[in-house]
Amino acid sequence: MSATPDRTACADLDAADPLAGVRDRFVVRDGLVYLDGNSLGALPLQTPSRVAAAVEQEWGQGLVRSWMDAQWMDAPVRVGDKLARMIGASPGEVVVAESTTVCLFKLICAGLAMQRGRTVVLTEEENFHSDLYVAAGAARLCGGTVGVVPRARLLDALDDRVAVVMHTHVDFRTGFMHDMRGLSAAAHEAGALALWDLCHSVGAVPLQVNADGADMAVGCGYKYLNGGPGAPALLHVRSSLHEALRNPIPGWLGHAAPFAFEPSHRPAAGLGSMITGTPHILQLAALESGVDLWLEIDMAVAREKSIALGELFIQLVEDRLDNAGFTLASPRDPERRGSQVSLVHPKAYGIVRGLIERGVVGDFRAPDICRFGLAPLYTRYVDVWDAVERMGNLLSDGDHLDERFAEKVAVT
């Protein structure tokens, strides 16, 4: 490891950063070190006017005609096609709908139905809790069960009862990144479908879902994609499964002829059948804006920067805060790490809250994790330096032990 960089060295890295100019395309308050883009991505500068156009021109002036004239009707598929380019899928293999949890519900039910004779949804206990909740709910309704096993034992549990293996690609707590290709292949070898949650991957790491064998996937619109609070989710299914696919929540917008008012549901062609109700047009406008910005970016360059930010963060913590009681929760190997650094500390909650007061926004994940997202489009090397600097000051001042942090209030 090289010598500990100082702030000037970090500023030099920013000056040489090929993505430096991209930061200017986001709203980031002066002085704020925002390391929570993995929870809610920052606002692209171009987004307010695009949402305003959807509200004032398309809704206000175009009114109901905008379903056709402003292509509202196509929005879930159009934005899905753009997302397909980001995740290595083909046009027609991604749509946008509801939330990741509702989309997971649809895919788990559909997966169980496609895998007759197999009833188990297998996942790891380290998975995001909402994924565990909805898997249990979906399996209950679909006559299946959920197998929840420790990560290290998942492959042992992969037998011929397993219909679907569900993984979150990048662990929300630690940033640990699974081997999508290897685990998908293992699922296929056992006759199971590979379902991937890309919430902490899309916009964070390069993705090639088709090449890596993902059968189905969901992903979040409001984290690294910068699609705004409550952005709808991406839902991916590889095309060879489309014909067998059945939406467990069939609705008019997924009908082959929504305005024919047929008494029975006749699914739309392809993935359109997975749409249920009226698309959330205003959220889609914001999401499309974030995705459009991403499509101008070379993901390999973004990934390179993200790794460099992570390496810098870890080095600064290890060099400058080596007696502060932190343990690295994220993988040391950058190839296995998403775009975040997580640190375990017994006073993690107080540290995160104290840092927020000092203008560094990360978040706390129970029971003892400080989590710092390193969104490569708007995070600078000096932000990482300032975060570690202020964390050091906080710890030496002891503010993180303040009694106002005794009761843990949710930090999203």
Q: In the window 220-279, what residues touch a second copy (CB under 8 A)?
A: 222, 228-233, 247-253, 255, 258-265, 276-279
359 is a contact residue toward a second copy (CB under 8 A) = no
- Residue with tokens 């197998």, as numbered in its chain: 147
How much is the CA Rg of the chain, to the nearest whole Å? Answer: 22
Q: Report the Cα–Cα distance between both ends of the chain, in Å, rounded.
A: 34
- 276 near 249, Cβ under 8 Å? yes
Q: How far is the CB of 339 from a second copy (least distance, A)?
A: 16
Active site residue 246: no
- Binding residues among 82-121 for a second copy as defined by CB under 8 A: 98-102, 105, 109
Among 223, 305, 337, 380, the active-site one is 223
Contact (CB, 8 A) for 107 and 123: no
Please tell me whether residue 386 binds a second copy under the rule CB under 8 A: no
| Beta-sheet pairing, 145-149 with 369-373 | unpaired
Question: Do the Cβ atoms of 394 and 349 come closer than 8 Å?
Answer: no
User: Of the ranges 3-11, 66-74, 183-191, 201-209, which one interacts with a second copy (CB under 8 A)?
Assistant: 66-74
Select from 115-123, 133-141, 299-307, 375-383 the region that touches a second copy (CB under 8 A).
133-141
- The answer to whether 274 and 285 are in contact (CB under 8 A) is no
In the bound state with a second copy, the residue whose beta carbon lies nearer, of 54 and 207, is 54
**What three-state secondary structure class fits 371?**
strand
Is-catalytic flag, 223? yes
Looking only at residues 21 through 40 of this chain, which bind a second copy when binding is defined by CB under 8 A? 27, 29, 34, 36, 39-40
Angle formed by the axes of helices 381-397 and 348-357, to 10°?
110
| Span of 51-59, 153-161, 302-310, 388-396 interacting with a second copy by CB under 8 A | 51-59
Is residue 403 within 8 Å of residue 354, measured between CB atoms?
Answer: no
Closest CB to a second copy among 69 and 319? 69
Structure-token match 């490569």, residue found: 376
- Complex with a second copy: residue 141 or 211, whichever CB lies closer: 141
Strand-pair partners of 392: none
Active site residue 197: yes
Which of 105, 128, 326, 378 is the catalytic position? 128
Distance of alpha carbon 89 from alpha carbon 84, whole angstroms: 5
Instruction: Indicate which single residue of 133, 149, 270, 311 sits in contact with a second copy (rule: CB under 8 A).
Output: 133
- Binding window for a second copy (CB under 8 A); candidates: 3-11, 135-143, 202-210, 302-310: 135-143
Are 384 and 374 contacting, i.e. CB atoms less than 8 angstroms apart?
yes
Question: Position 51: which residue type?
Answer: V
Contacting a second copy within 315-344 (CB under 8 A): none
Q: Is 408 a catalytic residue?
A: no
- Active site (catalytic) residues: 128, 197, 222-223, 371
